[in-house]
């Protein structure tokens, strides 16, 4: 067991509280299937992920969906993959 100071414990609790509050406010219309399709394209390294048109075509996603995934990538990664890469 690691000993930490009271101040370190309070700081960690504050940090975790911010994360939980941010997650409670998180909403998305992106399904797990859509996110995984995006991830499949990303991991294939076939295209630059900023080439939205190509990403849409390869993942069979609408532009708005790809943009939402890009905007909320970290939260979606946590939601659908528990923060772990495929």
Range(s) of the domain holding residue 76? 33-86
* Domains in the chain, number: 1
Instruction: Please answer whether residues 59 and 37 qualify as being in contact, where contact means their C-beta atoms are separated by less than 8 angstroms.
Output: yes
Position 50 scores a pLDDT of: 94
Residue 20 included in any domain: no
Position 43 scores a pLDDT of: 95
Position 4 scores a pLDDT of: 80
The model's pTM: 0.69
Residue 59 included in any domain: yes
If phi over 0 gives left and psi between -120 and 50 gives alpha, with beta otherwise, what is residue 26?
A: beta
SS3 11: helix
pLDDT tier at 30 (50, 70, 90 boundaries)?
very high
Residue 63 included in any domain: yes
pLDDT in tens, 36-79: 999 999 999 999 999 999 999 999 999 999 999 999 999 999 88
Alpha-carbon torsion (56, 47, 85, 17), positive or negative: negative
Residue 46 included in any domain: yes
């Amino acid at each position: 067991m690691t000993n930490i100071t009271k101040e370190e414990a309070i700081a960690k609790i504050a940090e975790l509280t911010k994360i939980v509050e941010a997650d409670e406010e998180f909403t998305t219309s992106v399904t797990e299937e859509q996110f995984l399709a995006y991830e499949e394209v990303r991991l294939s390294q076939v295209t630059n992920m900023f080439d939205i048109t190509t990403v849409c075509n390869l993942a069979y996603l609408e532009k708005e969906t790809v943009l939402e995934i890009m905007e909320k990538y970290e939260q979606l990664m946590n939601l659908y993959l528990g923060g772990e890469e495929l």
